[in-house]
């Protein structure tokens, strides 16, 4: 066998506030990692320059030159055409309309670039080196409970992104027909009920309606989970309701994809049993009985690193 030098990949995770990144080896090990401000207010050209700057800084820290690195993978928010590396628009980033990110970042760095959806990147990251890293796991779904709900679907070890590169938008599954309006224009999307912000919003609604609770005024998601842990009945009801909708979404996902593992990410998983145990029970209560369910539920393990790890992994192909 011919001798092959170790090859590396750079992964970048573009967000409205920060760009996170890392250099990964072939096994998904992190050789260097770091973060810089996006400075999105200065426009797309400036941000693309900063993506290139972070990539070069990380390679320098890892002691690597361009000849050691195969590709840069970039996870971006919002709709895109992954084949063309074209970002159609990006929420919270002024001027991001029809930006040829792949071509422009290749121009800045002189390196090959692959652009992927950030939810898909996080899902691939968890699959590659996180909760789904067991080689027996080939079918996995990630749901990240954040400001909205993001995530992705891994089938046969590969990200499923649909016929037009629009898949998947797991946060916009409709779980309540005619339900709460979503920023996407639909009614009753799961992210209106079970995202991290949805828990705080529902608690606020109930406080304003005069329900009995130890909470008052403006509340954060953490306040709601803390109060529930201290026995506040209203906070428990808020969490139960959100998790029941999440359970319903998971039943639908299992009916369609039959995954081995559903991974839940986001800050709220720190509440442990209040989320993961409750979700398993909610799923078991709502799913069918015609055959035994073999799906497992697991908490995400990579935290904020999942996006850049997965972007690097997907760039490897």
Q: Which span sits near Zn ion by CB under 5 A: 74-82, 183-191, 207-215, 267-275? A: 183-191
Q: Tokens standing for 151?
A: 């995530």
- For 94, residues 6+ apart whose C-beta sits below 8 A from its C-beta are 40, 41, 43
Choice between 140 and 190, CB closer to Zn ion: 190
Choice between 197 and 304, CB closer to Zn ion: 197
From the list 95, 1, 117, the residue with the least C-alpha distance to 48 is 95
Choice between 50 and 172, CB closer to Zn ion: 172
Distance, CA of 196 to CA of 180 (rounded, Å): 16
Choice between 191 and 223, CB closer to Zn ion: 191
Q: Does 182 bind Zn ion (CB under 5 A)?
A: yes
Q: Tell me the closest approach of the beta carbon of residue 80 to Zn ion, in angstroms.
A: 18
Q: Which span sits near Zn ion by CB under 5 A: 31-39, 79-87, 153-161, 167-175? A: 167-175
Q: How does DSSP classify residue 143?
A: E
Q: Tell me the closest approach of the beta carbon of residue 259 to Zn ion, in angstroms.
A: 22
Choice between 73 and 150, CB closer to Zn ion: 150
Residue with tokens 């890392």: 22
Distance, CA of 198 to CA of 268 (rounded, Å): 12
Q: Does 184 bind Zn ion (CB under 5 A)?
A: yes
Q: Which span sits near Zn ion by CB under 5 A: 36-44, 49-57, 119-127, 180-188? A: 180-188
- Bridge pairing between strands 86-89 and 97-100: antiparallel
Distance, CA of 253 to CA of 154 (rounded, Å): 12
Which residues within the stretch 211-270 sit at the binding site for Zn ion (CB under 5 A)?
none
Q: Does 98 bind Zn ion (CB under 5 A)?
A: no
Q: Tell me the closest approach of the beta carbon of residue 191 to Zn ion, in angstroms.
A: 6
Q: Count residues contacting Zn ion (CB under 5 A)?
A: 5
From the list 201, 221, 226, 203, the residue with the least C-alpha distance to 213 is 203
Distance, CA of 72 to CA of 261 (rounded, Å): 28
Q: Tell me the closest approach of the beta carbon of residue 194 to Zn ion, in angstroms.
A: 12
Distance, CA of 270 to CA of 4 (rounded, Å): 42
Indicate which single residue of 172, 201, 248, 280 sits in contact with Zn ion (rule: CB under 5 A). 172
Q: Does 168 bind Zn ion (CB under 5 A)?
A: no
Q: Does 181 bind Zn ion (CB under 5 A)?
A: no
Distance, CA of 236 to CA of 216 (rounded, Å): 15
Q: Tell me the closest approach of the beta carbon of residue 172 to Zn ion, in angstroms.
A: 4
Q: Are 179 and 192 in contact (CB under 8 A)?
A: yes
Indicate which single residue of 69, 189, 238, 309 sits in contact with Zn ion (rule: CB under 5 A). 189
Q: Tell me the closest approach of the beta carbon of residue 182 to Zn ion, in angstroms.
A: 3
CA dihedral in degrees (105, 107, 113, 117; nearest 10)? 30
Q: How does DSSP classify residue 27?
A: T
Q: Which span sits near Zn ion by CB under 5 A: 28-36, 66-74, 187-195, 270-278? A: 187-195
Q: Tell me the closest approach of the beta carbon of residue 8 to Zn ion, in angstroms.
A: 38
Indicate which single residue of 138, 186, 252, 287 sits in contact with Zn ion (rule: CB under 5 A). 186
Distance, CA of 291 to CA of 245 (rounded, Å): 22
Q: Are 40 and 70 in contact (CB under 8 A)?
A: no
Q: Tokens standing for 66?
A: 């361009």
Q: Tell me the closest approach of the beta carbon of residue 231 to Zn ion, in angstroms.
A: 33
- Contact residues toward Zn ion (CB under 5 A) are 172, 182, 184, 186, 189
């Amino acid at each position: 066998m011919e001798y092959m030098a170790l090859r590396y990949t750079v992964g970048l995770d573009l967000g409205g506030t920060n760009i996170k990144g890392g250099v990964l080896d072939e096994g998904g090990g992190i050789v260097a990692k770091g973060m810089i401000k996006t400075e999105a207010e200065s426009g797309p050209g400036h941000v693309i320059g900063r993506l290139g700057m972070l990539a070069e800084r990380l390679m320098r820290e890892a002691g690597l030159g361009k000849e050691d690195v195969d590709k840069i993978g970039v996870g971006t928010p919002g709709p895109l055409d992954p084949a063309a590396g074209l970002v159609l628009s990006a929420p919270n980033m002024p001027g991001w309309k029809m930006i040829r990110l792949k071509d422009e970042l290749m121009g800045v760095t002189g390196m090959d670039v692959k652009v992927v959806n950030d939810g898909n990147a996080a899902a691939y990251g968890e699959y590659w080196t996180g909760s789904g890293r067991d080689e027996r796991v080939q079918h996995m779904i990630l749901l990240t409970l954040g400001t909205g709900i993001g995530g992705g679907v891994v089938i046969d070890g590969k990200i499923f992104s649909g016929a037009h590169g629009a898949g998947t938008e797991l946060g916009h599954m409709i779980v309540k027909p005619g339900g709460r309006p979503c920023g996407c224009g639909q009614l009753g999307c799961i992210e209106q009920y079970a995202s991290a912000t949805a828990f705080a919003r529902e608690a606020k609604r109930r406080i304003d309606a005069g329900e009995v609770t130890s909470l008052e005024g403006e509340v954060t998601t953490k306040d709601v989970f803390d109060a529930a842990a201290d026995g506040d009945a209203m906070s428990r009801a808020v969490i139960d309701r959100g998790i029941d909708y999440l359970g319903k979404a998971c039943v639908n996902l299992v009916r369609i994809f039959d995954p081995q593992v559903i991974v839940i990410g986001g800050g709220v998983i720190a509440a442990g049993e209040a989320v993961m145990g409750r979700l398993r029970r909610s799923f078991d209560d709502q799913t069918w009985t015609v055959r035994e369910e073999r799906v497992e539920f697991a908490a995400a393990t990579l935290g904020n690193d999942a996006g850049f790890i997965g972007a690097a992994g997907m760039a490897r192909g």
